Structure 1
Amino acid sequence: MPTTDLTSETGAHYWFGQWMDADALPQALQGLGAHVDATLPRPFPLQALLAACDQLAQQLQARSGCYGALFEEACRTCPAEDAAAMLQAMAAMLARDAMQEKLRSELGSAHPGALQRRYPGRQYEAWAPCGCVVHVAPSNVFTAAAMGLVEGLMAGNVNVVKISARDGRVAALFAAALAAADPSGQLAAYMAVLRLPSSDQSALRQLFACADVVSAWGGEKAVAAVRALVPAHARLVTWGHKVSFGYLAADCLDDDTALEGFARDICRLDQQACSSPQTLMVETDTAGLHAVAARLAALLARVSPQIPGQAPDSAEQAEITTVLSVARCEAPLGLTAITEDPQGQWRIVLDTRPGLRPSPLFRTIWLKPVQRAQLAALLRPMRAWLQTCGLAAGLASMAPLTRVLLSAGVSRITRPGEMVDSYLGAPHDGVYALQQLARRVSVDGPPVLQHFGQLDALEPPQMLPAPRVPILDKSGFQSLETRDPHAGLVVRSGGSSGKVAYSSFRWADYHTQMAATADGMVAAGLDPATDRVMNLFAAGHLYGGFISFWTILEHLRVLQLPMALLPDYELIAEQIIEHQANTLVGVPPHLLALFTAQGERLRAWGGVKKIFYGGEPLSAAQERFLTEECGVALVRSAAYGSNDAGPMGYQCLHSGGTVHHLHTRLQTLEIVELERDAPVQGDAVGRLLFTPLARSAPRIERYEIGDMGRWVPGPCACGRQEPRFELLGRLGDVFKAGPLMNYRHFADTLGQRFGYAGPVQLHLQSDGPRTLLDIWVSDLWDERRSDAVVAELFASYEPLQCVAEAALPFVLRIRRVPDADFVRNAASGKLIHVCDHRAGA
């Protein structure tokens, strides 16, 4: 197991979870191929990687945990200020939100390694690892080695990072810290860091022979040396030095804001970034160029003292001196002019000859006149080395200049003042790094996969342990800060208490959840290639049902008829028949009302074959009404979910009633005892606690959703290995009337034993010492059957038998009630199952 105390680590190399002395490396390299072959077939622990990186991000931000050892080691190779800044930059990149955004931007999915179906077709695609990636890291920036390792892991590869023998151990300590933070204990098998001199050609050849990709950082000479050693079968990915520049178009010559932005770009990081400007091209003549130089000098004099800098070393200073000396020699010829800070903090080298010249850096900028007609020809010789252009142009010039710059080889155009900035998910040097370390694969499987949206479910899920925090109940959830500044969608819910509640979702999280729910509907029997679906969920008033299923059906590329929850059942039936809709999605009360009002017409047509419902479960009798009397062939839950926690479960063709598979991509589920925070034993009934995995804000952990359930043991006949659970009513369905009783038993008895398909509501009252339990049913109920129901309940339900045996003062009655009198949730209209009118209830 990886060790956690980084300060005690010894050894030249970090080798897949162990520290190793230099003399052990040759033998270890001989076994590298076998290690790769044994590791790659395993499912990569992506969620564990995200959790571990997020933990390290928090430690680096708080300067706790691994920070001390990494900072101390980094200070051996760079100034303390630079070390601290680079560690904070790493923290920002390692945060969960940043990692997930990088996955989505570069690989198109938060789960890029999962074989995902291309709806409505039958084929599956995924990003698969290339295999073994060897990272040849630069010696001057320790973050490149660490973050290169992380990128290799994000693509699922086995990674070996090669650093020079003179480098510090930041990358190795980082790998050890990542392994220590890994909740799965599997990441160490994917990480090695070797301090290996480039002169050891034998070891490098042995290492590269096992590589499927070699990712190399460095200048032309260093990359050429690596290229000579890389075998023909391996992909070589190079990250060499780049040249960036600014361009000030004629229509922005007088824009001091743009010019001040360029001054800041020149000073920031002392031009050490590849995206820093080395030349500022100006669309003007020689006289105009001198005027720009004077204004730029005034701006640099003001801006430079505001931005801390680093003095060049002797070799770097010598290069600056050489460039300035040559320019001074050319000045009498009218070719050049130098404007220099008296303290030597910055310098402008004006050159009347058009072109792009590399700068000696450290706030040294070439200023050159370049007409836009010259741009393409001047830039083309540098095409392979171009990166960023800071562009200052007016509206009329923006499109044509952008086209010229991009066609000439520039891969990135920014605003002046923001050349060294970036954004989450940005490409690097014209490519997405993760795509260079992965390969796109496809699977066209047999017909048995017809009802599978993704193939991960066929293997045991990689479920992280539940967080060790107290249970979050409804009141705790409502006290969370839910106003997320990055939210893209806000929906409302009545909530089980009747109080209006709001939930917000970030767009990325929302689409991840809807994609998983779409896979769940396919598992339940929806056929995207042939079904025609009418969406009957409620729309408007900030409700999320209709728009969620709009997104789900759009993701499936299935034909959708957006009808919504209308009271005009005749119109709905007419449109079902007109458009040949064979599948309906909606809430049970509306669907049942539709078939009650238009059942004869729909049965005569006979085209509705599938119903997917959401919001509340159908009783067994209601399901029989739809299948046996209305001719519907398939009735399934569309999804088990909530506005609070998102989608939680889905059904398959072999799971009916209230049995669902867990959405393991989206949720962690615990079932704990009703009276205490302890896991249930076996398939005992308990409270459901969910921890959403695709919910960025608010972070919800161990949320008591308000439902009871039990684990369903044994494998499912559908072949999926995602665990199953059975819903057994709301926690509010449990009430105490002497012994504990459950609403679900009363409703099930009426539905299953007596074929009753209407609403059931329990009302508890006190009459002196007696407890009165009234079962409200529809006024269509045959009252002559009431005595038989009461007798059946007392005979079959153990809590009622206890009441009878103990001769408790208890009365059970059946009451026929008009539908309008049933008590419903004021916000959502859902039936409230148990109404307790007793004093103190």
Structure 2
Amino acid sequence: MEIEDKEHTMDVRATERHFWFGRWLSQEALEHELGTLEAHIADTLVQPFPLEALLAAAQQVADSLAQGSELYQRLAALAAHTNEPEEVAQLLQGAAQALQRDALLARLRAELGATHPASIERRYPARQFEAWLPVGCLVHVMPSNVFLVAALGLIEGLLAGNLNIVKLSARDSSFAAVFAEALCEADASGQLRNYIAVLRFPSSESATLEALFSHADTLSAWGGESAIAAIRRMAPQGIRVVTWGHKLSFGYLAADILADETTRSQALKAFSADVCRLDQQACSSPQTLFLECDPEALHAYADELAAHLAAISPTIPGQTPETAEQAEITTVTQVAKAEEALGLTRVIEDPEDRWRIYVDTRPGLRPSPLFRSIWVKRVDRGQLVKMLRPMRAWLQTCGLACGLGSLAELTRALFATGVTRVVRPGEMTDSYVGAPHDGVYALQQFTRRVTLDAPESAHDAGSLSQLETAARGAPPLVPIMTKQGFLEAAAPAGTPELIFRSGGSSGVTVFSTFTWADYHAQMQTAAHGLLAAGFDPQQDYAMNLFMAGNMYGSFISFWTILEKMGARVVPMAMVTDFAMIASTIAQLKVNTLIGSPSHLIALFEQEGQRLNGVVEKVFYGGEALTRAQRRRLQETFGVRTVRSVAYGSNDAGPIGYQCAHCTGGEHHLFESIQDMEIVALEEDAPVPAGETGRILLTTSASLRSHPSIVRYEIGDTGRWLEGPCACGRQDRRFELQGRSSDLFKAGGPFFNARRFSDILDSKLEYSGLSQLHVLEEGNNIILELWIHEGSGLSEDVVAQSIRRHYPEVEFCCTVSTTFHFRVKTVADVAFVRVAASGKLKPVCDHRIH
């Protein structure tokens, strides 16, 4: 059956000319489908573009373009009709590199400034929102016989989020259509096909072309001046026409390079390679080489160039000119030879006719007949701008060879002529990810910058994505990633750009790596969470009290978050000079504190009187804050807002955020970054809503390139909260139930450290610090609960309350002769903290294992 299906597909490709949103169509069927196109466009564009699906499909196609694959063979055969096999192999390899997920994400960041530029987000610190949204229906009119341009142009249009219709010449092969089909087949979501059509018909079919153009929001047109002019005439009034016409490029050797034999030889050798690569078919290939020299030296330098061309040309595969192209080469060469008698020119030819140099004593840029043909001319630097500006509309690249002393002057002059690229000799046809094309970013040409000045009800919304239901698929069918699995996955690949060290409540050190791009994208999302929690970047003045140093991430992360929000910040860090902190807060009138609960509570206990009436908002993170502690901050010290600053980790990044309707451990999930599962404590199975389980995280691959985090057991427990949130956000809600490491054994059943703090909070209204210590005294196991000595609670009262409300503790105390429970009051400095983060360690096990 599979063989029959493949044969049927191949037959369809052979008989039907058009790939139409996942189907192959005949010309007759196309005419009918054009009548339904507007409805399809409207239905498609109202949906968010499936960027993740595009990235995954493009990566799969890139992987399958490895030499020898079925797709590679099929595409190579289609391209071989008009290209040499060596050139096809080189270009397909380049296409595979361009389709890599990292390369596409790098283009988005370089050209549109964000990994997800279509996300409508706050323009901090103001109230307005902005985004790069697609133009809509993008029609590409592609040049004939340039097989890769259509495929990569389609990718650009998709990357910008558009519905794309690629119009090919009837003379073209079905390369672009087969590429589009492969992209759709690689898309597991099935959504990309709604955005892709590839049509082949002659431009002489004006009725079909006009019908197609009538649906376009933007036309992207390739071709010469006459072709572009014809497209502009047919384009509906008011739509954007983006043109990619033929361009001229040249090389330039400054006098300081020519004066030194070594640098001159290196530059001429490099320019020789530029002349040979791609047989000058690229717009960035040099057609004229300018030299800052006197007339006598011009011919000597041309002879040196000829020697380098003779050596390099046989090493770079080329293609044979067609009849018309060879005729142009012959004509230009013969005219130049005829002008030798007048002393105007000189022709230097390869005996095997593989290359040729035209030495010309007259000024000005001249296009060459290509196929390794180059004009060599003198140039006066002072006349450069006047000479080239008349051709500014057609200039693109200059390969510049000059010393540092000439660089600024020549670069400024070249850009003034209209040149858009200045590059090194030998690299004129090279580029880099995210480079502009012809002086513009292609993705910006295919998008529009939109703005939203939202109503007052959106004052605490940072991204409209929080107000939309996220598309969610089934969990990946892979085993749960353990902490050890994370450590192995996070092993540095190459040179990590950013490394954090965690030392949370478990005290186990973990190194976590990020790219700068991933880090900044995640911090931008975290900023939206802080806004939702109640921080106002236009009004509030924040003091960052998180732990700094030791490779810990909290202080650095909130430095970045607050910077992205354009907030006013005092970067204090977790110092223990509470008097100095309070003095600074009072002097600067800081109204918002951001830090760790244990440090914040200690600050208020010692300096609360000075802070009362000044500090209005407290945002905490890294540890839980009890209800008694929250009440004390509000009722005793006048803090109006007490809320989680974020729920996250050094391992996985931001995970959850609070809104005004979240209390305690309740959070919204950052669904634009994370997908969360909650599975049973003892098995890999989802728990019903409301039941406690282990939290697993899968981080968006476009926001965490290394390590890949899929079903990672973060070490926390939680439960899903049902029903919509009163804030209106659609991001799912969950409630943290504590660390799975809060479970420990002390001579009997498992105990949960969270239960002890809950009893202190709910039964004794204790708002201070607490910590559990497990000790061995001979054969006895001692479970010791530490509380703050200034709490006013006696050790006996606390011990009795714990035993009364924690049955397992009472059972062990009653039944076991070797288990003992006691309470100890200690000073603040006695509590054990994790060195890296400053967090309070919930359980300290002093037993010898």
| Cα pair 1:77 1:167 within 8 Å, conserved | no
Q: Relative to structure 1, is the Cα distance of residues 301 and 412 closer, same or farther in structure 2, using a 3 angstrom cutoff? A: same
Aligned to 1:614: 621
CA distance in 2, matches of 1:337, 1:343: 18
1:135 aligns with 2:145: no
* Counterparts of residues 451-466 of structure 1 (less than 5 Å): 451-463=460-472, 465-466=474-475
Q: Relative to structure 1, is the Cα distance of residues 326 and 209 closer, same or farther in structure 2, using a 3 angstrom cutoff? A: same
CA distance in 1, matches of 2:448, 2:185: 29
1:166 aligns with 2:174: no
* Counterparts of residues 98-113 of structure 1 (less than 5 Å): 98-113=103-118
Deviation at 1:22, TM superposition (A): 2.4
**Alpha-carbon deviations, 1:581-610, whole Å to 9, x = none?**
10011111211111111112212xx11000
Deviation at 1:178, TM superposition (A): 1.9
Aligned to 1:294: 303
Deviation at 1:544, TM superposition (A): 2.4
Match of 1:218 among 219, 223, 240: 223
1:201 aligns with 2:206: yes
| Cα pair 1:493 1:643 within 8 Å, conserved | yes
CA distance in 1, matches of 2:449, 2:36: 28
| Cα pair 1:270 1:361 within 8 Å, conserved | yes
CA distance in 2, matches of 1:121, 1:133: 32
Aligned to 1:674: 681
CA distance in 2, matches of 1:61, 1:529: 53
CA distance in 2, matches of 1:296, 1:464: 61
The 3-state SS of whatever aligns with 2:341 is helix
1:521 aligns with 2:530: yes
**Alpha-carbon deviations, 1:699-756, whole Å to 9, x = none?**
2322221111122221111111111221111111124576554322222121122112
Deviation at 1:647, TM superposition (A): 1.3
1:752 aligns with 2:762: yes
* Counterparts of residues 50-449 of structure 1 (less than 5 Å): 50-61=55-66, 64=69, 66-254=71-259, 255-449=264-458
Deviation at 1:499, TM superposition (A): 4.3
Q: Relative to structure 1, is the Cα distance of residues 742 and 541 closer, same or farther in structure 2, using a 3 angstrom cutoff? A: closer
| Cα pair 2:503 2:836 within 8 Å, conserved | yes
The 3-state SS of whatever aligns with 1:710 is strand
Aligned to 2:821: 813
Percent identity over paired residues: 54
Q: Relative to structure 1, is the Cα distance of residues 684 and 56 closer, same or farther in structure 2, using a 3 angstrom cutoff? A: farther
CA distance in 2, matches of 1:188, 1:544: 42
CA distance in 1, matches of 2:87, 2:825: 76
**Alpha-carbon deviations, 1:435-463, whole Å to 9, x = none?**
11111111111111110111111111234
| Cα pair 2:695 2:715 within 8 Å, conserved | yes
Q: Which amino acid aligns with 2:633?
A: L
Alpha-carbon RMSD across the aligned residues, in angstroms, is 2.5
Deviation at 1:811, TM superposition (A): 5.0
**Alpha-carbon deviations, 1:92-119, whole Å to 9, x = none?**
1111111111111111111111111111
The 3-state SS of whatever aligns with 1:516 is helix
Deviation at 1:698, TM superposition (A): 2.5
Aligned to 1:592: 601
| Cα pair 2:691 2:719 within 8 Å, conserved | yes
CA distance in 1, matches of 2:5, 2:599: 57
1:783 aligns with 2:795: yes
CA distance in 2, matches of 1:810, 1:626: 40
* Counterparts of residues 830-841 of structure 1 (less than 5 Å): 830-835=839-844
CA distance in 2, matches of 1:730, 1:794: 19
CA distance in 1, matches of 2:833, 2:551: 19
The 3-state SS of whatever aligns with 2:351 is coil
CA distance in 1, matches of 2:677, 2:35: 44
* Counterparts of residues 412-811 of structure 1 (less than 5 Å): 412-463=421-472, 465-480=474-489, 482-485=491-494, 487-495=496-504, 497-603=506-612, 606-693=613-700, 694-735=703-744, 740-764=750-774, 773-780=783-790, 781-794=793-806, 811=819
Q: Which amino acid aligns with 2:30?
A: L
CA distance in 1, matches of 2:798, 2:810: 18
| Cα pair 2:551 2:836 within 8 Å, conserved | no
CA distance in 1, matches of 2:221, 2:213: 12
CA distance in 2, matches of 1:432, 1:664: 30
| Cα pair 1:687 1:704 within 8 Å, conserved | yes
The 3-state SS of whatever aligns with 1:333 is coil
Deviation at 1:262, TM superposition (A): 1.0
Deviation at 1:784, TM superposition (A): 3.5
| Cα pair 1:184 1:464 within 8 Å, conserved | no
**Alpha-carbon deviations, 1:647-691, whole Å to 9, x = none?**
111111111211111112222222222222222233322222222
**Alpha-carbon deviations, 1:512-554, whole Å to 9, x = none?**
1111111110010000111111111222333322222111111
The 3-state SS of whatever aligns with 2:513 is strand
| Cα pair 1:213 1:235 within 8 Å, conserved | yes
Q: Which amino acid aligns with 2:764?
A: F
Q: Which amino acid aligns with 1:783?
A: E
Q: Which amino acid aligns with 2:632?
A: F
**Alpha-carbon deviations, 1:251-298, whole Å to 9, x = none?**
221322222221111111111111010100111222121121011112
With 417-426 and 481-490 compared, the bigger mean Cα shift is at: 481-490
Match of 1:27 among 14, 23, 32: 32
Deviation at 1:230, TM superposition (A): 1.0
Q: Relative to structure 1, is the Cα distance of residues 639 and 130 closer, same or farther in structure 2, using a 3 angstrom cutoff? A: same
Deviation at 1:470, TM superposition (A): 2.4
CA distance in 2, matches of 1:23, 1:144: 27
| Cα pair 1:709 1:728 within 8 Å, conserved | yes
The 3-state SS of whatever aligns with 2:689 is coil
The 3-state SS of whatever aligns with 1:538 is coil
Aligned length: 832
> When the two structures are superposed, what TM-score results if normalisation uses the length of structure 2?
0.93
**Alpha-carbon deviations, 1:228-269, whole Å to 9, x = none?**
211113211111111100111122213222222211111111
The 3-state SS of whatever aligns with 2:65 is helix
With 59-68 and 380-389 compared, the bigger mean Cα shift is at: 59-68
CA distance in 2, matches of 1:393, 1:767: 79
| Cα pair 1:348 1:364 within 8 Å, conserved | yes
Deviation at 1:418, TM superposition (A): 1.0
The 3-state SS of whatever aligns with 2:399 is strand
Q: Which amino acid aligns with 1:403?
A: R
Q: Relative to structure 1, is the Cα distance of residues 422 and 786 closer, same or farther in structure 2, using a 3 angstrom cutoff? A: same
CA distance in 1, matches of 2:803, 2:12: 74
Q: Which amino acid aligns with 2:452?
A: V
Q: Which amino acid aligns with 1:46?
A: L
CA distance in 2, matches of 1:220, 1:405: 24
| Cα pair 2:813 2:820 within 8 Å, conserved | no
Q: Which amino acid aligns with 2:173?
A: G
**Alpha-carbon deviations, 1:608-639, whole Å to 9, x = none?**
00011122221222222211211111111112
Gaps of 5+ in 2: none
